[in-house]
Chain A
Amino acid sequence: METDGALIEWSVRGRADAFVEVVRRHEVAVHGFLARRAGHQAADDLLGEVWVRAFAARAGFQPGYADARPWLYGIARNVLRAHWRAAASADPPSTASEGQNDPWDDVVERLDSAAWARALADAVRALPAGERDVLLLVAWEQLTPAEAAAVLGVPAGTARSRLHRARATLRLALAKNKHEREEDRCQPNTRNLSTRIH
């Protein structure tokens, strides 16, 4: 099977339709990336834009990379940012807080009401955006820290240290939450949460 890099190279050399095979390979993953961050409706609406942007930018893809997912996630991330900027500017000032439209609020809204999920979501929300991005690219999109670094355009070492800090912060927050809940003895589902953050 040809690598993504080879297919994209073919598409640049004149076989534009080869790019569609790359899209077929990763369309569910990229849709999931969008849906996890902006909800299903926005993902449905934005997926086509991701493909069109990626197609237009394909000459800049390094064909040495076998897997196009990090590159596609980077483009999807830019499409999401533009979507959020547009949404923030369309909202009246009372709901859009000076352009700081944090999409994580939407993620929390979509969560089920399990207490442990809320506690975890709150802990993730409290992370600095850069640490949160790396953490979720690794935990949700199954990327390596180096691949997450490529998505975010930061050095791999930076991504690794952000991931380390994010995990440490989450463990601490969840251990505190577990302790509080064990004292209350009302939510046994939170037990051992802190030890299961990989």
Chain B
Amino acid sequence: MPAEHAEPEHPDPLSVLGQVDPPAPGVLDNAREALWAVVAAEMLSDNSPREQAANDVREQAANDVREQAANDVREQAANEVRKQTMRRRKEADS
């Protein structure tokens, strides 16, 4: 039997279950419009996700430095208090 007259292979029934019509005209364009709006907004703001990530890192680093400086000040103040306390005790003992 010639190939073109052979009975067509039955498709996978599950694939048949999943067959859907292609999207109606305009649906894909509309969805792309929603995307273009955010693409344009980002291009105009010149704030790419990588730059945003870099900004976040910079901000985090600055916060870390601020926090470290505050910790240093607190620790120094505590040391100062300890020293003064010991000095007073020595003076009292003598």
Contacts and interface: CB of A to CB of B under 8 A. Distances in A.
Interface of A: 12-14, 16-17, 19-20, 23-24, 27-28, 31-32, 35-36, 40, 43-44, 47-52, 55-56, 58-59, 107, 111, 116-117, 120-121, 124, 135-136, 139-140, 170, 192-193, 196-198
Interface stretch (B45-53, B57-65, B70-78, B81-89): B45-53
A31 B10 contact: no
Contacts of A49: 34
Interface of B: 10, 12-18, 20-24, 27-28, 30-36, 38-39, 42-43, 48-50, 53
Nearest to A9: B50
Contacts of B30: 44, 48
Contacts of B53: 59
A120 B35 contact: no
Q: Looking at chain A's contact residues, is the secondary structure mostly helix, strand, loop, or mixed?
A: helix
Given A13-B48, A27-B32, A196-B12, 19 more contacts: A16-B43, A17-B39, A20-B32, A20-B35, A27-B31, A43-B27, A44-B23, A44-B27, A47-B27, A48-B32, A48-B34, A49-B34, A55-B39, A120-B14, A136-B14, A139-B14, A139-B18, A140-B15, A197-B14
